[in-house]
């Protein structure tokens, strides 16, 4: 195997706390925060770069303006769909009552907000609903299961994250194939019932470092989020080959992607092939290990062909099933072929590929789908790699 480096746009915010303060200093944003406001700050379950620093500065900025912020885990059914599990996920990112200096309202209790215009029941976190207003913090990026002008971001956090298990299940019953329509529809309903004066949108570069931090006013959300999604799309990395016989993923996890490994890179999602996929054709996928930050949740690993015993032994099936079933997607909980070691899994993956040169297989090995800057390739891919001006041998 040969280690190569892929070059991307390196635009990055060095001081994320200063960037958050700059957003709060904008007159149009600052004027929205009033003394005494109880503000529900939504933090999710995704592994956002330096999320603890961003969240801390949001909290501190609100307190400087005499508001009274508290944190709500806005992560749908993650954490085993339990208050304790969701608090543990936030703690794994450094977000606790002690580090943030404010309460964490981790209850799974919700209130009904009625129905969307097409009749979908909408639910919302009770502590967040009872606050004076809600401030979501989330990364804006491509979704793992659907394509549209609004995908993962603030609208989805308001619709599913704050909906807890009940709200998550209600929307997933409609099928992720319809999310491009129903997520904005749910967001519109929620914003008509809940005061979201502004949220903090984050865009990360191909190195998964912070490229943009922007305060987005609620009344501009449906206009601004699609523009930031397009920026995220342009910065999104790819596996730069035409075909790959075996893709080896060292780390799979909820802190890496909602699907454990990003379907926009593999072309596979737990609900089927990825629409508008632009990556290589991949015959077999091997997953080696589950991140500790996943807390045993290996949901969507069904898209892999082989996993290791090490991965399987880390699974918490209760947490995994809670997530998959709340999303109305039991298929996402299915387990691939289990091999005792990485070596056996890779050998079997090569053996089961069709129409390849088994003596010279095309293999790509990634640390995770968050790490496309440096990775390993087999010799069969070297010529194609060196033909690209954006790649070099490390």
Q: Which residue, among 131, 102, 136, 129, has the nearest Cα to 214 in the 3D structure?
A: 136
The predicted structure's pLDDT at residue 51: 96
The predicted structure's pLDDT at residue 347: 97
pLDDT, greater one: 269 or 40: 40
CA 373 – CA 8 distance, rounded (Å): 8
The predicted structure's pLDDT at residue 176: 79
The predicted structure's pLDDT at residue 276: 76
State how far the alpha carbon of 47 is from the alpha carbons of 91, 92, 93, 138, 236, in Å. 12, 10, 8, 10, 16
Specify the CATH superfamily of domain 8-235.
Answer: LarA, N-terminal domain (3.40.50.11440)
The predicted structure's pLDDT at residue 166: 94
Q: Please, what is the average pLDDT of the chain?
A: 94
Q: 78 pLDDT exceeds 90?
A: no
Is residue 142 within 8 Å of residue 236, measured between CB atoms?
A: yes
Using one digit for the tens of pLDDT, what is the confidence trace for 102-142?
Answer: 999 999 999 999 999 999 999 999 999 999 999 999 999 98
Tokens of 354: 């069709």
Is residue 135 within 8 Å of residue 162, measured between CB atoms?
A: no
The stretches of 65-205 forming alpha helices (DSSP H) are 83-92, 97-100, 126-129, 154-156, 164-172, 179-193
Backbone angles phi, psi at 93, to 5 degrees: -95, 5
pLDDT, greater one: 289 or 235: 289
The predicted structure's pLDDT at residue 156: 96
Using one digit for the tens of pLDDT, what is the confidence trace for 290-345?
Answer: 999 899 999 999 999 999 999 999 999 999 999 899 888 999 999 999 999 999 99
* pTM assigned to the model: 0.81
CA 160 – CA 183 distance, rounded (Å): 8
CA 348 – CA 368 distance, rounded (Å): 21
Q: 275 pLDDT exceeds 80?
A: no
The predicted structure's pLDDT at residue 290: 98
Give the helix/strand (H/E) hosting 61: helix 51-64
Is residue 122 within 8 Å of residue 113, measured between CB atoms?
A: yes
The predicted structure's pLDDT at residue 356: 96
- Write down the domain spans for the chain: 8-235, 238-393
The predicted structure's pLDDT at residue 142: 87
Q: 70 pLDDT exceeds 90?
A: yes
């Amino acid at each position: 195997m040969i280690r190569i480096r892929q070059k991307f746009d390196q635009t990055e915010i060095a001081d994320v706390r200063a960037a958050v303060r700059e957003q709060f200093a904008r007159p149009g944003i600052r004027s929205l925060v009033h003394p005494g406001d109880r503000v529900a700050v939504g933090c999710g379950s995704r592994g956002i770069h330096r999320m603890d620093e961003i969240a801390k500065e949001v909290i501190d900025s609100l307190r400087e303006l005499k508001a009274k912020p508290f944190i709500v885990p806005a992560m749908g059914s993650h954490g085993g769909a339990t208050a304790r599990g969701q608090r543990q996920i936030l703690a794994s990112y450094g977000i606790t009552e002690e580090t943030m200096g404010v309460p964490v309202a981790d209850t799974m209790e919700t209130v009904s907000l009625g129905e969307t215009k097409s009749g979908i029941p909408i639910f919302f976190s009770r502590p967040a609903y009872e606050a004076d207003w809600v401030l979501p913090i989330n990364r804006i990026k491509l979704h793992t299961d659907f394509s549209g002008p609004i995908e993962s971001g603030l609208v989805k956090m308001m619709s599913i994250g704050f909906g807890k298990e009940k709200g998550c299940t209600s929307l997933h019953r409609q099928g992720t194939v319809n999310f491009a329509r129903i997520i904005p529809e749910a967001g519109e309903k929620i914003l008509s019932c809940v005061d979201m004066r502004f949220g903090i949108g984050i865009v990360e570069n191909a190195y998964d470092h912070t490229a943009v931090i922007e305060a987005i006013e609620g009344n501009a959300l449906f206009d601004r989020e699609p523009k930031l999604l397009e920026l995220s799309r342009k910065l999104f990395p790819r596996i730069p080959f035409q075909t790959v016989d075996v893709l080896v993923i060292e780390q799979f996890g909820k802190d890496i992607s909602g699907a454990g490994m990003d379907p926009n890179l593999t072309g596979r999602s737990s609900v089927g092939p990825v629409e508008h996929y632009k990556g290589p054709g991949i015959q077999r996928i091997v997953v080696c290990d589950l991140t500790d930050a996943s807390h045993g949740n290996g949901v969507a690993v069904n898209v892999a062909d082989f996993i290791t015993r090490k991965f399987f032994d880390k699974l918490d099936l209760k947490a995994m099933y809670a997530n998959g079933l709340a999303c109305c997607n039991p298929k996402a909980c299915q387990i691939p072929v289990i091999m005792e070691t990485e070596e056996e899994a890779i050998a079997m993956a090569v053996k089961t590929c069709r129409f390849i040169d088994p003596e010279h297989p095309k293999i790509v090995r990634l640390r995770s789908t968050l790490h496309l800057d440096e990775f390993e390739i087999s010799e069969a891919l070297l010529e194609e790699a060196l033909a690209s001006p954006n790649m070099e041998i490390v």
